[in-house]
C-alpha cells in the first residue's frame, strides 16, 4: 500500500500556528503602514513647538515628554518593521545623543515616498538602488553646506551657542538658562585635550521644589542624603571609601557560647567592641576626616566614628561610589582598616546642606580642578524635572559630538531644503529608473521644514515655497522662522541656529538604512507565541465577605 504524500506548501512544512504573509500587499505595504503610524506619533513632537506625549508604561509610570527617545522606549513597539525604526533611533541616541526624532520621521517619510513608487510599478530593488545612490549624493552635498565650526571648546560663549538649539527643541523658552548651565558644567570638567570629553563626568541631581531658575552647577558631587553621624561638615579632608559594611565582623560558622554570669557577658561583648574601636582608631590616626561606605554601618561603629570626630556618609549606588573615587582620587577598599596614603582621597569641602526641604551632602573642590560636575536641577513636579534632565542630556551629548567633529550646518530646516533642492537637480540629470527614487528621496527631506512650520501653526505650503525661492537665490542658510506670524523665513546662520554636521550625517545614514531594510522584506513568517493564553490582570485582592 503506497504512502500518501501530503500536498506541498509552507503551511505543511511548518508547525501549526505559523503566520505567513508575502507580496507587496500583505508584506511591504503593511510594513510601510506600520512605520508611517510610528513616525506620525513622534512627528508632532519635532522641533521647539513640538507637542508633548503622555505615555503610561506597563508599570503605570507616567511620562509627559516630547523626547522621541523616551517616547519610543516606553511605547514597547512589537511590530517587526516598526521595531527596525526603533532600533535605528536607539542607535542614534547611543552614538550621538540627539536627532532621534529626525531618524524616525525621515525614515517614515522615505517609506511613504517609496510606497508611491511601488504603486506606480517600480520594483522594491529599483527603489532601494535609487535610494542608495541618493544617500551617497546627499553626503557629498552635506559636506559643502558647512557654515561654521566650533572654534574653541574651552570658550563658554562658543559652547552656549552650540548647545542652545539642541535644548530649544526640548525646552523652548528655557534654552538660554539651561545652555548656560550645561556650558558651565562642561567647562568645569573639560580636559585639555577636548576630544577626551566624557559625558559621564556631568551628573544631574533632581530635587523637587523651587523653580528652574534655582538650578545651579556644583564643582564636585551632590548626594541626596545627609550624613549618618553627628559630624556634618569637614574641610580639607582626607577621605576613606569602603565597599564593605562598617560593623562588627560576623563569623562564617555558627557557634554556641555558654555564659554563666553578667561579668562573662560584659567581657564577651567588650572583646568585640575593642576590636571594632581599634579598627576605627587606626582609620582616624591615618588622618581620615570623612568615611564613605557603600554598604551598611552599625550603630556601635557609628558611635566610635562620632567619638573620633569623623563624618560618615552612606552611598548605596556602586556607580556613584566609582564616580566619587574619581572625584576625590581615592581607592574603594573591601576591607575595614586604615587605608594606605595612596588609597585615601582628598576634598576641599564636604558639607551637609539643605536644598529646598531635602538634606544633601556636597563634595566640593575649591582649589584644584574637578573630574565631575553636578547640575542640581530644581522644579515643581517630578515629570517637569525629568523632562529638563532629558534636555540637559541632549545638550551634553551635543558637546561630546562637537569636540570630535565641530563642523556646523544651518538649522531650522535650512540644510534639509538645500539637500532637497540639489538632489532634485541631480535626479533631473540622472537617466534610467534611478531618477524617480532620487527625486522621491529629495522630496522626503521636505518633511522636516514642513513639520517645523506645521507645529508652529504656520502655512507649511507657503513656507516651503518661500524657502525654495530664497535658496534658489544662493542664500543656502534660510530656515523656518517659528516665531513669525506671517509664514516668514529667517537666516539660520545669523540667528545662531546650527546643527552638527556629524549628527545630521549619522541620522540620514541610519534612517536610509532602516528604510531600505524594510523595503527589502518580501515575506513575513511569524511563529505562534510561546506560552498559553494571556490571563487578564485581576484587580483587587481577595473576595470580600458577603456581609
pLDDT (tens, 9 = 90+) of the chain, 547 residues, equals 455 555 556 666 666 666 666 666 667 888 888 888 888 888 888 878 888 888 888 888 888 888 888 888 888 888 888 888 888 888 888 888 788 888 999 998 998 888 888 888 888 888 888 888 888 888 888 888 888 887 777 778 888 888 888 888 888 888 888 888 888 888 888 877 777 788 878 888 888 877 888 888 888 788 877 778 788 788 888 888 888 877 766 555 566 777 777 777 776 666 667 777 788 888 888 888 888 888 778 778 788 888 888 888 888 878 888 888 887 888 888 877 788 888 888 888 888 877 777 778 888 877 666 677 888 888 878 888 888 888 888 888 888 888 888 788 888 888 888 888 888 888 888 888 888 888 888 888 888 888 888 888 888 888 888 888 888 887 778 888 887 777 677 887 788 788 888 888 889 999 999 888 888 887 777 676 666 565 555 554 444 454 4
Give the domain ranges of the chain: 14-147+410-526, 220-369
Name the grid cell of 283: 582609620
Dist. CA 408–CA 147, nearest whole Å: 6
Dist. CA 330–CA 324, nearest whole Å: 8
Residue 350 Rama label (left phi>0; alpha psi -120 to 50; beta): beta
Same CATH topology for 14-147+410-526 and 220-369? no
Show the 3-state SS of 36-59: HHHHHHHHCCCCCCCCCEEEECCC
Contact 417, 468 (CB under 8 A): yes
- Residues paired with 349 in a beta bridge: 235, 364
Nearest to 21 by CA among 10, 32, 35: 10
Name the grid cell of 14: 511548518
Could you give the angle at the alpha carbon of 364 between the alpha carbons of 358 and 368, nearest 5°? Answer: 170
For residue 209, the tally of other CB atoms under 10 A from its CB is: 13
For residue 196, the tally of other CB atoms under 10 A from its CB is: 10
Name the grid cell of 435: 531618477
Dist. CA 96–CA 402, nearest whole Å: 10
Contact 181, 375 (CB under 8 A): yes
Dist. CA 44–CA 36, nearest whole Å: 13
**What pTM was estimated for this model as a whole?**
0.79
Residue 201 Rama label (left phi>0; alpha psi -120 to 50; beta): alpha
For residue 66, the tally of other CB atoms under 10 A from its CB is: 26
DSSP class of residue 202 equals E
Dist. CA 112–CA 26, nearest whole Å: 16
Which helix or strand (DSSP H or E) is residue 499 part of?
A: strand 498-500
Contact 52, 171 (CB under 8 A): no
Residue 50 burial (C-beta neighbours within 10 Å; 0-12, 13-18, 19+): buried
**Which residues 6+ apart lie within 8 Å of 158 measured at CB?**
150, 151, 152
| C-alpha pair distances (Å), 292 with each of 205, 297, 314, 391 | 19, 10, 6, 32
Residue 294 CA, chain-centre distance (Å), reads 26
Contact 66, 53 (CB under 8 A): yes
**Which residues 6+ apart lie within 8 Å of 483 measured at CB?**
456
| C-alpha pair distances (Å), 106 with each of 323, 328, 436 | 38, 45, 18
Looking at domain 14-147+410-526, its CATH architecture is Orthogonal Bundle (1.10)
For residue 5, the tally of other CB atoms under 10 A from its CB is: 6
Return the CATH number of 220-369, one of 3.40.47.10, 3.50.7.10, 3.50.50.60, 3.30.1490.20.
3.50.7.10
Length of the chain: 547
Amino acid at each position: 500500500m503506497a504512502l500518501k504524500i501530503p500536498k506541498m506548501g509552507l503551511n505543511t512544512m511548518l508547525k501549526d500556528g505559523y503566520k505567513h504573509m508575502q507580496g507587496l500587499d500583505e508584506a511591504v505595504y503593511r510594513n510601510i503602514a506600520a512605520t508611517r503610524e510610528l513616525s506620525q506619533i513622534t512627528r508632532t513632537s519635532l522641533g521647539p513647538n513640538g507637542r508633548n506625549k503622555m505615555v503610561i508604561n506597563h508599570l503605570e509610570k507616567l511620562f509627559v515628554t516630547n523626547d522621541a527617545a523616551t517616547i519610543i522606549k516606553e511605547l514597547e513597539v512589537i511590530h517587526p518593521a516598526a521595531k527596525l525604526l526603533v532600533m535605528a533611533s536607539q542607535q542614534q541616541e547611543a552614538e550621538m545623543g540627539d536627532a532621534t526624532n529626525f531618524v524616525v520621521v525621515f525614515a517614515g517619510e522615505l517609506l511613504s515616498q517609496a510606497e508611491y513608487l511601488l504603486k506606480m510599478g517600480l520594483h522594491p530593488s529599483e527603489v532601494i538602488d535609487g535610494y542608495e545612490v541618493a544617500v551617497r549624493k546627499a553626503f557629498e552635498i552635506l559636506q559643502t553646506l558647512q557654515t561654521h565650526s566650533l572654534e574653541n571648546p574651552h570658550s563658554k560663549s562658543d559652547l552656549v551657542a552650540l548647545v542652545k538649539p539642541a535644548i530649544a527643541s526640548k525646552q523652548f523658552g528655557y534654552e538660554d538658562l539651561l545652555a548656560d548651565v550645561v556650558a558651565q558644567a562642561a567647562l568645569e570638567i573639560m580636559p585639555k585635550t577636548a576630544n577626551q570629553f566624557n559625558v559621564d563626568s556631568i551628573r544631574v541631581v533632581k530635587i523637587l521644589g523651587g523653580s528652574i531658575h534655582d538650578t545651579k552647577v556644583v564643582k564636585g558631587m551632590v548626594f541626596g542624603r545627609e550624613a549618618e553621624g553627628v559630624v556634618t561638615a569637614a574641610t580639607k579632608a582626607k577621605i576613606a571609601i569602603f565597599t564593605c559594611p562598617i560593623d562588627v565582623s560576623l563569623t562564617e560558622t555558627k557557634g554556641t557560647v555558654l555564659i554563666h554570669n553578667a561579668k562573662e557577658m560584659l567581657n564577651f561583648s567588650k572583646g568585640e567592641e575593642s576590636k571594632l574601636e581599634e579598627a576605627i582608631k587606626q582609620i582616624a590616626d591615618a588622618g581620615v576626616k570623612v568615611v564613605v561606605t557603600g554598604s551598611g554601618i552599625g550603630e556601635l561603629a557609628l558611635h566610635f566614628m562620632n567619638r573620633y570626630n569623623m563624618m560618615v556618609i552612606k552611598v548605596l549606588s556602586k556607580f556613584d561610589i566609582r564616580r566619587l573615587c574619581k572625584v576625590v582620587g581615592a581607592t574603594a577598599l573591601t576591607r575595614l582598616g586604615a587605608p594606605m596614603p595612596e588609597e585615601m582621597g582628598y576634598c576641599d569641602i564636604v558639607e551637609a546642606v539643605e536644598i529646598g526641604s531635602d538634606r544633601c551632602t556636597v563634595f566640593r573642590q575649591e582649589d584644584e580642578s574637578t573630574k565631575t560636575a553636578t547640575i542640581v536641577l530644581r522644579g515643581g513636579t517630578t515629570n517637569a524635572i525629568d523632562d529638563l534632565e532629558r534636555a540637559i542630556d541632549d545638550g551634553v551629548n551635543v558637546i561630546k559630538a562637537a569636540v570630535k567633529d565641530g563642523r556646523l550646518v544651518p538649522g531650522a530646516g535650512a540644510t534639509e531644503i538645500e539637500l532637497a533642492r540639489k538632489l532634485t537637480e541631480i535626479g533631473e540629470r540622472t537617466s534610467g529608473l534611478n531618477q524617480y527614487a532620487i527625486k522621491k528621496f529629495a522630496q522626503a527631506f521636505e518633511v522636516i521644514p514642513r513639520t517645523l512650520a506645521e507645529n508652529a501653526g504656520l502655512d507649511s505650503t507657503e513656507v516651503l515655497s518661500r524657502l525654495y525661492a530664497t535658496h534658489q537665490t544662493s542664500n543656502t542658510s534660510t530656515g523656518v522662522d517659528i516665531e513669525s506670524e506671517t509664514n516668514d523665513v529667517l537666516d539660520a546662520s545669523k540667528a545662531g541656529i546650527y546643527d552638527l554636521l556629524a549628527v545630521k550625517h549619522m541620522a540620514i545614514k541610519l534612517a536610509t538604512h532602516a528604510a531600505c531594510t524594510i523595503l527589502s522584506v518580501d515575506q513575513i513568517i511569524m511563529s505562534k507565541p510561546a506560552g498559553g493564553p494571556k490571563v487578564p490582570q485581576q484587580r483587587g485582592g481577595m473576595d470580600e465577605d458577603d456581609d
